[in-house]
């Protein structure tokens, strides 16, 4: 009888401990997912502002806003992106943290050319953007692995996609090859 009671108590204690550990892991996974998703969202918002500024500065597209306003929005987006990065640093596994560092470096290249801090051709601009979106995909893969999600967003089953660019216009108003 004493052995049966002790066995029941031990089994219940181990079961409760396992349940609490599972709840804790689930709670951290939810926080990680939120941090990773927010970081990518903030990163993409920053890139879109950089594109707006670059295209405005280069005369590729007119913006309804002036350069000072776009630059101010970029600065604010950079601060928000930095805070999102800090959450990733606090919660992420080694692979996620390294992927986030690489993504930050690639995004800064885009920011710097958009602001005129570095020079480059339109093709170099596009290469910087391609590199940033590859880094986002690498971050996605690292985050998925950290969260225990099977599969990748890159690789054999998911070939690399290129930038979506509008066709260039010829002088006669007709569409020419996309570039």
| Digitized pLDDT (tens) for each residue of the chain, 179 residues in all | 766 776 776 677 666 676 566 555 556 789 999 999 999 999 999 999 999 999 999 999 888 999 999 999 999 999 999 999 999 999 999 999 999 999 999 999 999 999 999 999 999 999 999 999 999 999 999 999 999 998 877 766 556 666 666 555 444 444 333 33
Nearest to 49 by CA among 22, 65, 70: 70
- pLDDT at site 155: 62
Beta-bridge partners for 155: 158
CB-based burial, 51-90: b 16+ in 10 Å, e otherwise? bbbbbbbeeeeeeeeeeeebbebbeebbeebeebbebbee
Record the pTM.
Answer: 0.75
- pLDDT at site 172: 43
- pLDDT at site 8: 75
Contacts of 172 (CB under 8 A, 6+ apart): none
Domains of the chain: 25-148 (1.20.120)
């Amino acid at each position: 009888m004493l052995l049966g009671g002790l066995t029941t108590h031990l089994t219940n204690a181990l079961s409760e401990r396992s349940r609490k550990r599972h709840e804790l892991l689930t709670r951290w996974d939810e926080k990680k997912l939120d941090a990773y998703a927010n970081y990518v969202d903030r990163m993409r918002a920053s890139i879109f502002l950089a594109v707006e500024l670059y295209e405005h500065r280069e005369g590729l597209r007119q913006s309804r806003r002036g350069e000072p306003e776009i630059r101010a929005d970029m600065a604010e987006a950079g601060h928000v992106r930095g805070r999102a990065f800090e959450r990733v640093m606090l919660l992420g596994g080694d692979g996620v943290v390294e992927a986030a560092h690489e993504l930050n470096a690639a995004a800064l290249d885009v920011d710097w050319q958009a602001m005129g801090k570095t020079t480059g051709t339109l093709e170099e601009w596009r290469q910087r953007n391609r590199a940033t979106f590859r880094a986002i995909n690498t971050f996605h893969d690292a985050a998925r692995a950290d969260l225990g999600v099977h599969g990748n967003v890159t690789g054999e089953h998911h070939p690399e996609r290129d930038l979506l660019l509008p066709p260039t216009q010829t002088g006669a108003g007709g569409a020419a090859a996309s570039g």
